[in-house]
Amino acid sequence: MGNSIYRFLCGLCAPSSQEHGLHGAHPAVAALGRDILNFGAASQVPEGLSRHVVSSKKAQANWYKKLLAAWKKTRPPPKTPEEAARFVVQTLKNHQKADVEGFLVFYGLPHPNAAPGAPAPAPHAAPPPPKPQSAKFELHTLPVDPKAVSDGDTINVYVDTADPRESGSVPREVQKAAAERAKARAVKDYQKADALQKIIVNGGYRPVPNARGEEVLGKKYRIRLRGIDAPESAMPYGKEAKEALLKLVQGKSLKVYVYDEDMYGRCVGDIYCDGVFVQEQMLKKGLAWHYTAYDQRPELAKWEKQAQTGRKGLWASSKPHKPWEWRKAKRNGTA
């Protein structure tokens, strides 16, 4: 049974596959079945799944063990995304909601409770590239707050202080204030908790929710998107640029490759969200300029040119105002 399914899912369409109702399975279902059966052969979970779920690789392996056992018993195996989604939810019903939902997103399967006709999420988003050698370090952020985006090229993010990169550098006064704040909130002494919150925030930290909704202590980083310059808020398309960036990152955990620090103390970096390169999207939408004074990457120039040719965003104007010239004019009092 397992071998016949595997041959079908690999596109070989063995005659026995039709016997079990597998002919014509949806690509997302085929991907799920292939990964389940591959796990049975090699005990490996798919690359990239960890970006969509909150549990460890060990826990993920346990899911695939259960899915493999259930898949072999299912007659016939699922063919449509809806059938596959119900199969996953039923098999993993005792696991965390965030894990099950992330698992469905990874395979592009609809949530069983989704409204009829609702589009399924895109399956298997491409993982971000490995950290480039020229990058100084990388950050894995907590979910982005809606108020974190100040404009189309700057965003405030928080990194869990439990991260190995952060855990050894939290100031003692911040650690103490966070512990006392938790105690104060437990006894509903909110006045004391608010005073302790100020100490935490002034130290560059903040209690924020993680992907599971649990409050953790996060370190603040201000990120300047490398290689692009978006219109300022008071400029034409400034509001649209901010809203586009917010739509890309809100509520999501980001991977940031940091290359430098600017004169304002911001980390200059490339941002990836669910495998999507954020700067690429901003340039293609015509909501940012390629900042050639600081970044000569040809791919950024190509994406900007695509938006210009399509007259998208700010390029719908015959003479869009360059944000660096607008800032200079404002400093000189001639804006």
* Cβ pair 9, 34 in contact under 8 A: yes
Q: Of the listed 51, 181, 206, 224, which one is catalytic?
A: 224
Q: Identify the residue whose tokens are 């490759």.
A: 257
User: Is residue 266 annotated as part of the catalytic site, yes or no?
Assistant: yes
User: Is residue 243 annotated as part of the catalytic site, yes or no?
Assistant: no
Residue 5 CA to residue 83 CA, distance in Å, equals 16
Q: Of the listed 232, 240, 261, 325, which one is catalytic?
A: 232
Closest CA to 121 of 136, 107, 132: 107
239 by Cβ neighbours in 10 Å (0-12 / 13-18 / 19+) ranks as middle
Q: Which two tokens stand for residue 79?
A: 């063919």
**Long-range Cβ contacts of 100-105 (<8 Å, 24+ apart):** 102/49, 102/52, 102/53, 102/54, 103/49, 103/52, 103/53, 103/63, 105/52
Q: Which two tokens stand for residue 221?
A: 């980083």
What sign results for the dihedral spanned by CA atoms 317, 322, 326, 329?
Answer: negative
Closest CA to 279 of 114, 155, 168, 106: 155
Counting every residue written for the chain, the total comes to 335
Mark 246-271 as b/e (b = at least 16 C-beta within 10 Å): bebbeeebbbbbbbeeeeeebbbbbb
DSSP 8-state symbol, 295 = -
User: Is residue 232 annotated as part of the catalytic site, yes or no?
Assistant: yes
Q: Of the listed 51, 206, 266, 304, which one is catalytic?
A: 266
Catalytic positions, written as ranges: 224, 232, 266
